[in-house]
Amino acid sequence: MRLLKDGLGFGTIGDLSFTFKSFSRMPNITLPDGSVKSFDQAISVAGVAESIGPGLAKAALAGVVDGNEVDTSFEIDHDAELQIITGRDDAGLEIIRHSTAHLMAQAVQRLYPGTQVTIGPTIENGFYYDFAPEKPFQPEDLEAIEAEMKKIVAEDLPVSRTTMSRDEAIDFFKSKGEDYKAEIIADIPADEALSLYKQGEFIDLCRGPHIPSTGKLGVFKLTKLAGAYWRGNSNNAMLQRIYGTAWPDKKQLKQYFHRLEEAEKRDHRRLGKQLGLFQFEEQAPGAVFWHPRGWTLFRLLIDYVRQRQTEAGYVEVNTPDVMDRALWETSGHWGNYRENMFTTQTEDERVFALKPMNCPGSVALYKQGLKSYRDLPIRMAEFGKVHRYEPSGALHGLMRVRHFTQDDAHIYCTEEQMEEECRRVIELNLSVYRDFGFDDVRLKFSDRPENRIGDDETWDKLESSLKGAMDSMELDYSYNPGEGAFYGPKIEFVLRDAIGRDWQCGTLQVDLNLPERFDASYRTAEGGERRPVMLHRALLGSLERFIGIVLEHYSGALPVWLAPVQIAVLNISDGQAGYTADVVDELRRRGFRAEADLRNEKIGFKIREQTLAKVPYLVVIGDREMQDQTLALRRRDGKDLGSRSMDEVAEYLGQMNAERGQSPDISTAD
């Protein structure tokens, strides 16, 4: 039977979903490598693992039978395909974390009887559980809970699954004083049976699967306490949430905490202040105040993207920031995205909205004048300022803002051109990411969401072309069912940074729905009219967010071509001030971003200040350099590059400035 996810960290038993290839009690089990093992009677997943070898039997956490995740105790009595899940698999890590959440809940109820458990899902890198304790937890309680968890691991309690009807489960949890759990169950349809997992005296509602016994766990750490409203509603009772992380082995746990330390050192908000790039103010929540160096970096990104787009055959346009509600109703945004839009009403009662997306304005431009099939494809790019309402609690530096700039583009093409245009976009995106030092890029394909516009035939066509482009390029991609935009399927480009974190940046979406809604068309070779395909494309996504990602990727030590200041020229005493200023003028004339540091400070202090500002190169000028008309060049890491002439320095900097795709030095985080 298939376990259906319900989004609340537990599950219900759904319809029978296994394909019974044979009703024989002598199953043939096909393994991932294509080999087949035959058994003379029904056998559990654990039994199959044991038949393969003792190492796998020990490592087995769960199984996938005909595409369905099951416990190792699951009996296979028919011909089936089987994959054994271990801690090396992503699914295994998920099971470890969810099982560790149950382990924590059991320890809490042992130590603090009367505490109610509510919801305990896995999250990125860990898990949490919300509790309703009789007495509030204190931070020091986490150590005691961890110690009790380790005791339960040592007990190696078997974990077993059972089922109950909804009403039985409600009565059961009420009898245990678990009113929150009973409330959760009451929202489930009455005719659905529920799965419960038991380990020792602890039992909880859960979709599973789970580890075979508590002894399979042990590499975990509880990280923090927080408050959480019951079911996320501020009108409900306040609960206490305990966060934790869990891993298959101690090495991975240690690496995780090392990444956390690195992430803290690399926090773009700290770097933004340290490098003098930007600031935030309460008067404009979710909007950036750019300092000169930060705005230079912002313009460098725009200049780079503009050049790449021009080379790829794009034209650049610009559309208004504020447009009438009627346009957003036509596009479908008013019905599907209204809660995220900023609006205003004029004296004549017309309602306008700050644009959350650039697409409708682009279609309005496309519709100006008659278009022929000979005009297509039209690649229309825009650095559009967009505004989206994000809850105050979700705002996070440059990573989550309300006012930002998209390097947006919309491509209008024929259906016959669609797949080739998708390939061109994918190639451009991957090339751009390599220039910024991101070589590890994951592609995620998302198909039709439940809330969408357009018919199924149109979605079939769009999804087929988007997948076809990736398949023809022999690219690997993962699948996110139901996560497409409301108007079309999409590819997300996910970049892995220097410390192993993933960031979703660029997107590619194919769309026949907006051209239909806006009555956009082109004249065919036969003289008729046809809808164009509309591709929505972003390279960096939000420029503000991408700057935050790049700053953390390089720990602020940006490559020369991206550095707001490429070279700082420092005088030792006032006597060299004039020559220092002349050097800066000449470097600027040659196209470099140079600044003079003429402060009346000791040279050691100035070198340290410019090094902390992560300026790639420093020139120190004393009496000897002024007399010889030379420049003492050094790198920000302290390496002395010797005295050089202006021509030699310019040639060297020019070579460094031309380099793209440098990998960041992991040691540059302070």
Question: Which positions are annotated as active-site residues?
Answer: 359, 388, 406, 408, 410, 490, 536
* Direct distance between the N- and C-terminal alpha carbons of the chain, in angstroms, rounded to an integer: 53
Q: Quick one: angle between helices 415-435 and 292-311, nearest 10? A: 140
Surface-to-core class of residue 28, CB atoms within 10 Å of its CB (0-12 exposed, 13-18 middle, 19+ buried): middle
Q: How far is CA 553 from the centre of its chain?
A: 14
- Determine phi and psi for 274, rounding to 5 degrees: -60, -40
DSSP 485: B
Question: CA dist 651 to 228, 581, 603, 645, 647, Å?
Answer: 59, 20, 26, 10, 6
Instruction: Measure the CA angle with vertex 38, ends 37 and 42; round to 5°.
Output: 115
Specify whether the CB–CB gap between 181 and 164 falls below 8 A: no
Amino acid at the residue 342: F
Q: If we measure between CA atoms, which residue out of 86, 593, 8, 667 comes closest to residue 295?
A: 593
DSSP 253: H
3-class state of residue 180 by DSSP: helix
> How far, in Å, CA of 236 to CA of 241, rounded?
15
Its sign, for the CA torsion 18, 20, 21, 25, is positive
> How far, in Å, CA of 104 to CA of 66, rounded?
32
Question: CA dist 416 to 220, 412, 420, 468, 533, Å?
Answer: 53, 12, 8, 13, 9
3-class state of residue 193 by DSSP: strand
